[in-house]
Amino acid sequence: MTTQENYTKTRLIEKLKNKTAVIGIVGLGYVGLPLILRYIEVGYKVIGFDIDVDKVASLADGLSYIEHIPSESIQNALKGGFEPTSNFSKIPEVDALILCVPTPLNKYREPDLSYVLNTTDSLTPFLRLGQVISLESTTYPGTTDEELLPRVESCGLKVGNDVFLVYSPEREDPGNATFTTRTIPKICGGYTAECLEVGLALYGQVIDKVVPVSSTRAAELTKLLENIHRAVNIGLVNEMKIVADKMDIDIHEVIRAAATKPFGFVPYYPGPGLGGHCIPIDPFYLTWKAREYGVHTRFIELAGEVNSSMPDYVVTKVASALNSVMKSINGSRILVLGIAYKKNVDDMRESPSVILMEKLRDLGAKVEYSDPHIPIFPKMREHHFELSSVALTADRIGNYDCVLLATDHEKFDYELIKASAKLIIDSRGRYLDSANHIVKA
C-alpha cells in the first residue's frame, strides 16, 4: 500500500470515528430506517436514498410508514441532520454508502439481484476516492466480490486502496423490544484487510459489538446459516405437527413440555407457512449457488418443501372443518385474523396469510380480514385485495362461517372471538383448550 493509499484509509477511518463522516443509506425500509435513526442518535449526518418518491416525501414531512417507528423519531432525526432524497447525484457528499435493498426470489424461486445490481449501477457514476460501500442485503456467497466489486471498480477506483467494500448482513427483527439495532451484534467481512478495518470503523460507533470475519463470503454465508437454521427447524416442527395431528396429539403441548429441558432443545413453533423477508427466501439463495459447485442441498430443500406446503395443509383443515358442519368453502364467509407475517407488527413481506386468502378466494370463499396493525390491505406486487380491516364485534364475528387465526396478534380479544365465532381454525396454537368449535391446524 502506497503512502497515498494508506492516507485514504486512515483519513476515512478518522472521519468515521470522530463522526464527521456523512453516512449514506440506500433503501429506507425496515432495515435502512432503523439504521438511519441509530446513526443520527450518536451524532452523524445521514442522507437517506430511495427511488420511492412517496417514501421520501413522507419522511421529509416527518411521517413514519412503519408502525413500530413513531413519526416523532423521524421528526427528531430530521432535526438531527437526516436528509431523505431520491437524488443519487448527492452520492459524492457521503463518506459511507450502506445498501439496504430487497433481495427477493423470481418466479422460478431463483435469486433476484436486480435491486442490488440496479442500485449499484446507479451509484457507480457518482463514487469518489475515500468512500466505503457496505452491502447489508441477504444474498449468496460471492455476490459482493463477483457482482459489486467489478461494478465499483468500473469507474476507475481500486477496491482496498481508493474505496473500500464490505458485507455486513442486516439482523433486524421488526417489533422486537428486547433487541435493537444497537444491541444486536453485527457481522462484518471485508474484501481486503483494509476494507475490513474501515468496515469495523463504520459500524463500531453505532453497534455495541461488531464481529469480524475473514471475508465477504464468510459474512454472506453466516447470514444464510442463521436463517437456514431457523427454516430447517421450523420445517421439522411443521412436519411434526402433521404427524401429531394424525395421532390426535396437540403439538403445542408437546413443544411446551419439551422446552422445559434446560439444555439441548430450542423450541420452534409451527404455523400456516413461513413469512418475512428472510426465512422463506434465504435458503433458496444457498441452494441455487450450491449447484454451481455440484452440491445438491437436499436437507435444506426438503425443509423448504415442507414449509411451502403448510398453507395447503391449513386450507385442507378449513375445508374439513366446514364440511363437518355441512358447509363447503365455496360460498362460505371466512374471516382471516392477522395478515402480517408475524404477530404484533405491520410487516407483510412474504406473509403466509396472504397465500391463505388467495387460496380460499380461488376456492370460492368470500374472504375478509381483521388486523389491528394493517387497517387497509396494501398494494403488493403479486397479491391484490381491495379490502379494509374488519372491526371485531360479537355480532360481526358470529356472521362468519369460519374464523381462521393466521397471525396471533396480542391486540386480538381471544375470549370474544372464542365466545362469538361459529367455527375457529387455529393455525398458531393460541387456544389451549379443545372446545368443539375450535380446530387446530
Q: Report, as residue numbers or ranges, the catalytic residues.
A: 278
Amino acid (1-letter code) at residue 423? L
118: left (phi over 0), alpha (psi -120 to 50) or beta: alpha
Burial 334-356 (b: 16+ CB within 10 A, else e): bbbbbbbbbbbbbbbbbbbbbbb
Using DSSP bridges, classify how beta strands 96-99 and 402-405 pair: parallel, antiparallel or unpaired: unpaired
Contact 181, 100 (CB under 8 A): no
Contact 130, 97 (CB under 8 A): no
**Per-residue three-class SS string for 165-234:** EEECCCCCCCCCCCCCCCCCCEEEEECCHHHHHHHHHHHHCCCCCEEEECCHHHHHHHHHHHHHHHHHHH
Strand, coil or helix: 404: strand
Query: Which 8-state DSSP code applies to residue 264?
Result: S
DSSP of 321-385, one letter per residue? HHHHTT--STT-EEEEE--SSSTTS---TT-HHHHHHHHHHHTT-EEEEE-TT-SBPPP-SS---
